[in-house]
Structures are given as structure tokens and as C-alpha cells.
Amino acid sequence: MSEQRKATTHLVGGFCGGLVSAIILQPFDLLKTRLQQDTTNTLWKTLKSIESPSQLWRGALPSCIRTSVGSAMYLTMLNSVRQAISKGKQTGSTGSSYLPQLNMYENLFSGAATRALTGLITMPITVIKVRYESTLYQYTSLRNATSHIFQTEGLHGFFRGFGATALRDAPYAGLYMLFYDQMKTIAPTLLPSSVIKLNSDNRYTTYASTLINGSSAFSAAVIATSITAPFDTVKTRMQLEPNKFRNFTSTFWHIATKESVKNLFAGISLRLTRKAFSAGIAWGIYEEIIKKFV
């Protein structure tokens, strides 16, 4: 298969996985934003303030664009970096994946560097999404949100909170790749033997590999999300109240000392749920597409 077709397959796999997960899990993202916006709110109060079920998908369009395009870019670039590091060596240990297998430091570096670059490129969509989901801004449309940010803050406004985002996403992606690779080796020993079956090529069946990859992605996301949760809260505050919170250090210090350390983990249950299921869905779909077409 040509390199161009391989790259296209990674793009399609990442796009499809990201799109499906974004559509299904948008309500969790919206609720997380609302809880981080006002830490005196509870999940129940936030749910009661939503007028109709369709409001749970407010901001779904920028979320879908960001997640699908971001996943396509990230996974394609990540594969290129991992292939370059591994010099094309493929895994043969678990049989559930066709992606290169790297050591701990290579996983940390490849995930972190690629995620930081992808985050920079998709940052404007992220800012628009967060503002649109929030109740602090009464935007009537995405066009209204975009023009307001540009008129009041200029181009810089579209990159508000990038430092906090990079500090969240780069370590998250590095830790995620580290734990994901490890879990793909461990998962077959933990899952019921009745579902871990091999096909005629002595590789895991589609059902078995999807289960292994999906559960590994889910577990890795839970660990990485828990560790990087404070960075997500700081990022959201900086994007919602740019005049009050201007840089990462002062925002982090304000939340930790003027409010409480607990507030640094505001919305973590929703973020854990969304990130874990998003990773399980997106990586499960992505790995299967790669396995079938590369």
C-alpha cells in the first residue's frame, strides 16, 4: 500500500472515531463546562437549569469539528512520529493492534509532542466551543461567537488558554500512550477467555481486538485524565473569563488559595466519563479501520 493511502486511512480512521465519540458524548462536555464555570453549582442544579434535552447538545457543531478534525490530524501525525521512531517495526506481542510498539520514553514523547501541535492548530475551535457552551456569553450562533471574540480580543482571543491547554493535553497524551500500550498487553489476561479468540490468521478476532483496544483505551484515559484534571479547570477558567484570569500561574494560584484545592478538580467526574468513553470509542474504531485497510 502506498504511503499516501496509508496516511489517508489514518485520517479517515481518526476522523470517524472522533466524530462518533463527539456526537455521543457532547452532553458530558457541556455539563463539565457549566460546572467549571460556577463551582457553587451541583450536577443536579445544572441539569435542572437546562430547558430541553436538545440543549445538552449546544455547541455540538464546534465540538464535532474540533474532535473529528483534531483526532484525524493527531492520529495521523502520531502514527508518522511513532513510525519514524520505531523505524517501521510493527507490534507482534498482543495481536490486537497494527500500530508501532515503543518504549516508555518514546510513548511519552510521541504522544506529548504531537498533542501539543494538534492543540495549537485546533485552539480557535476549542475557544469558540467553550464560550458557546457557557452561560456567561449569550451567543445566538457560532458566527456571532466568532465575530464577538475577534472584535473584542483580536486574533489572540482565539488562542486564549493555550498554555494551560498544552500543559493539560501534552502530559495527558504522553501518559495516555504509555498506559495504552501497557494495557493492550495486560487486557487479554484480565478479560474472560471466552471472548479472547483467535482467527485463522492466528490474530485476535475483530470482536476480541475491539474489546482489548477499547478497554485499554478506557483504562488509560481514566488514569491520564485524573492526573491532568487541574489543568483542564485552569484552561476553562482562562477561556471563560479572560479579563480576570490572564495566565496559567495566577489562575491556578487563585483557584487553589482563594477558592479551594477541590475546585481544581471541578467537573472531574464528567470529564473522566467523557474522556474514558471517548477514548474507548475513538481508539476502538480507529484501530479496527487501520487493521482492515492498512
The average pLDDT across 15-37 equals 89
What CATH number corresponds to the domain at position 262? 1.50.40.10
Estimate to the nearest angstrom the gap between the alpha carbon of 250 and the chain centroid: 25
pLDDT digits (tens, 9 = 90+) for 231-261: 889 988 988 888 888 888 999 999 999 999 9
pLDDT of amino acid 202? 75
- How many Å apart are CA 3 and CA 164, to the nearest integer? 35
Number of domains in the chain: 1
pTM for this one? 0.79
The average pLDDT across 214-219 equals 95
24: CB partners within 8 A, 6+ apart? 277, 281
Q: 254 lies in which domain range? A: 3-293
> Grid coordinates standing for 63?
465540538
> Grid coordinates standing for 290?
487501520
pLDDT digits (tens, 9 = 90+) for 111-165: 999 999 999 999 998 899 888 888 788 888 888 989 999 999 999 999 988 887 8
